[in-house]
Structure 1
Amino acid sequence: MKFSVLLALAAPSKVFSFMTSAKSMRPTNLHSQTKSTMNYIDGIQSISSTYDIFLLDMWGVMHNGSKPYEGVIETVQKLKEEGKKMIILSNSSKRVGNAHKMLKKLGFDENDFEQIITSGEISYRMLCGDETLQCSSWSTLTSLIREGKKKVFVFGSGDGDEDYVESSGWTLAPMEEADLIIARGTFTINNGDGNPVSKKDDEDGYFQVLNSVLEKAAERKVPMLVTNPDKVRPDEGLPPMPGAIGDTYEEKLGSGSQQFVKRIGKPFPEVYELALLGCEDPKRAVMIGDALETDVTGGTSFKTSTAWIVNDGIHSPFVQELGDGCFKTGTSKVIENFNDEKGHKEDSRLSPTYISKHFRWII
């Protein structure tokens, strides 16, 4: 199997059950709880007066990587005019400066946002040993830094991986010597020899090396820092993201594997701890995102309301297919399948507070 190590391709059912064969997974009946809690809205205007803080995902909500979605810039401006605090939460493995550049390039005013938080920036500061970072720490990483064990093996994006590592005080190393693995991309494999393996140049070779080094890492139980927990990207074909490498590594480690893999980003605590720092009542905040597993789950875990943006995001093709032309039916079935795959019981089934086709002021 070409991607035997990345669950997003080899075993996508472990990422989202409905990604493998949506038609075959249509449930025979839907739980009434999921149906009854659906609150469909025709734009952000209808909830703007309810919340003081708007936590915003970027890709799949605000833009598609190359241009903003229709009406998004106007929506941001409306929220700004109403005095709302907007905080971007991005699972990008890059540092926050890249997000600033992206926003400016796409026509946004970066000053409209109270904070821009990326998982890559938090991870970078943790790698630097930044004690001023006001979120949970990872004791494994803290111990490595304290002991001077700072050799790292990188699964990279092919864009600034070496600088990211070296400027934070670490040294690239082969897996046999590595004290830590960083999973920040699914395009290159870099062991510090100056000749990274590129998926673009040799796809088959990339997958062979990926599988081999993960096997070696599992034997040594090398800890892994995943700087982007997303498993797939909302592009055509749903290409894999670093979160899929983390999942596969846990599979190879076996029992007790979770202690060796640390994920930074939604739905995990660190980004929400920083975004909601000083917020006395998280119920005054709403998390707006396109992914059930990261955005909606994370917001729900931190007691904020959630707004699931569907048509521009990762779940859109499955909503269309399962709904057979009916938006409400499609969203209900996608949520149902997600909950079933996660094994959520009746009293803990995920249900977004709001569902909207787009992040627009009025639809």
Structure 2
Amino acid sequence: GVSANIMDAAAPVWIDGIGDIADQYDAYLVDLWGVVHNGSVAFPWAVRALEELRRRGKPVVFLSNSSRRRETNLAALAKLGVRRELFADLITSGDEAWRALHGVSCQDRPAAVGLPRAVLAAERILVFGNGADDAQYMAGLPGRCSVPLAEAEMLLARGCAALSKAEGEFAPATWHEQETVLSAAAERGLPMLVANPDSVRPDGADSPMPGRLARRYVELGGPEPHFIGKPHGAVFQTALLRLSELGVPEGARVCMIGDSAWHDVRGARAAGLDVTLLCS
């Protein structure tokens, strides 16, 4: 796989654009929400930066904490006008969680390696959903189904908008309703898998995200959750493996571009990567 070289820097350096650093690195990992788009539109300056990296032959892999699957995000990017030729691949925490539960080989999916049997073997899952594609997400997992709390063997946190009521059935849920379920699950000591470690949505209202569910679960006495996604190391390992498969050589200089000090900077630095932090 690729092991990145860290460029020495005594202090952060301000840059005016991607052109200032493009040739200092061999490949880039790039966050999506807040960096490439805001959920509604792709940022023109981000598209121009991707075009410049492509012109210079720098492979880009998007690395996102989206709880949705890779294909869902690819379709969303196409709709936003982010052309497929501008990036080499896309890795999401939601897709890595799905692959771990599906049983995809752990050899090239580090996220599954650290998960306990209680998670990997659970068949009946209480899902905290995003309210959009929850039924579709679960339908692709053979041998597993979404259930209410009373039947659950584990919790899957991929959103804060809905709760599973039966196989393939989800209902909107308030934060108070989710806290009530969390409290009862904590009493039973059910394991939790978090498919998006973000705590708040960057929507101007600080809407809660699965990371906040995880924190609240521990406060209520539940066991420590298991996280897939930034800043946790496994998803960075997966991204570096993917770059290696794309032909990026051992010892390449890899830079993470993101907008979160907690998820992008913290995670990338722990993985041995330089970081470009967008400040807005």
TM-score range for the pair, normalised by the shorter chain length: 0.7 to 0.9
Please give the TM-score of this superposition, normalised by the length of structure 1.
Answer: 0.68
User: How far is the alpha carbon of 1:208 from its aligned partner?
Assistant: 3.1
In 1, the alpha carbon distance for the partners of 2:27 and 2:65 equals 19
- Match of 1:185, SS? coil
1:165 aligns with 2:135: no
Aligned 8 A contact 1:115 1:275 in 2: no
User: How far is the alpha carbon of 1:267 from its aligned partner?
Assistant: 0.8
In 2, the alpha carbon distance for the partners of 1:184 and 1:194 equals 15
Q: Which of 245, 264, 271 does residue 228 from structure 2 map onto?
A: 264
- Match of 1:182, SS? strand
Q: Which of 176, 185, 188 does residue 208 from structure 1 map onto?
A: 176
- Match of 1:71, SS? helix
The change in CA–CA distance for 1:54 and 1:225 in structure 2 (over 3 A counts) is same
1:64 aligns with 2:28: no
Larger Rg: 1
- Match of 1:155, SS? strand
State the partner residue of 1:321: none
1:281 aligns with 2:235: no
1:132-143 to structure 2, matched below 5 A, reads 133-138=108-113, 140-143=115-118
In 2, the alpha carbon distance for the partners of 1:101 and 1:233 equals 21
In 1, the alpha carbon distance for the partners of 2:135 and 2:91 equals 22
Q: Which of 205, 209, 212 does residue 244 from structure 1 map onto?
A: 212
Aligned 8 A contact 2:254 2:274 in 1: yes
1:121-143 deviation digits (Å, cap 9, x = unpaired): 11111111112543142555545
1:201-260 deviation digits (Å, cap 9, x = unpaired): xxxxx2332121111111111111111111111112121111110111122126xx32xx
The change in CA–CA distance for 1:288 and 1:144 in structure 2 (over 3 A counts) is closer
1:13-39 deviation digits (Å, cap 9, x = unpaired): xxxxxxxxxxxxxxxxxxxxxxx7131
State the partner residue of 2:6: none
Aligned 8 A contact 1:138 1:262 in 2: no
Q: Which of 235, 258, 261 does residue 292 from structure 1 map onto?
A: 261
Letter in 1 for 2:61: I
Aligned 8 A contact 1:127 1:141 in 2: no
State the partner residue of 1:29: none
User: How far is the alpha carbon of 1:270 from its aligned partner?
Assistant: 2.1
User: How far is the alpha carbon of 1:106 from its aligned partner?
Assistant: 1.5
- Match of 2:137, SS? helix
CA RMSD, Structure 1 to Structure 2 (Å): 1.9
User: How far is the alpha carbon of 1:193 from its aligned partner?
Assistant: 7.0
Q: Which segments of 5 or more consecutive residues in structure 1 lack a partner in the other structure?
A: 1-35, 200-205, 312-363
1:126 aligns with 2:100: yes
Please give the TM-score of this superposition, normalised by the length of structure 2.
Answer: 0.88
In 1, the alpha carbon distance for the partners of 2:212 and 2:100 equals 22
Aligned 8 A contact 1:288 1:295 in 2: yes
State the partner residue of 2:123: 150
1:1-363 to structure 2, matched below 5 A, reads 37-131=11-105, 133-138=108-113, 140-146=115-121, 149-169=122-142, 170-192=144-166, 196-199=170-173, 206-253=174-221, 257-258=223-224, 261-277=225-241, 278=244, 280-281=250-251, 284-311=253-280
- Match of 1:80, SS? helix
1:175-213 deviation digits (Å, cap 9, x = unpaired): 1221111111111111317764414xxxxxx23321211
Q: How many residue pairs end up in the alignment? A: 263
Q: Which segments of 5 or more consecutive residues in structure 2 lack a partner in the other structure?
A: 1-9
Letter in 2 for 1:52: D
Letter in 2 for 1:245: L
In 2, the alpha carbon distance for the partners of 1:291 and 1:49 equals 23
- Match of 1:98, SS? helix
Aligned 8 A contact 2:183 2:220 in 1: yes
What is the aligned-residue identity percentage? 35
The change in CA–CA distance for 1:48 and 1:141 in structure 2 (over 3 A counts) is same
User: How far is the alpha carbon of 1:99 from its aligned partner?
Assistant: 1.4
With 73-82 and 168-177 compared, the bigger mean Cα shift is at 168-177
The change in CA–CA distance for 1:87 and 1:265 in structure 2 (over 3 A counts) is same
Aligned 8 A contact 2:119 2:191 in 1: no
Letter in 2 for 1:306: V
Letter in 1 for 2:151: E
Letter in 2 for 1:207: W
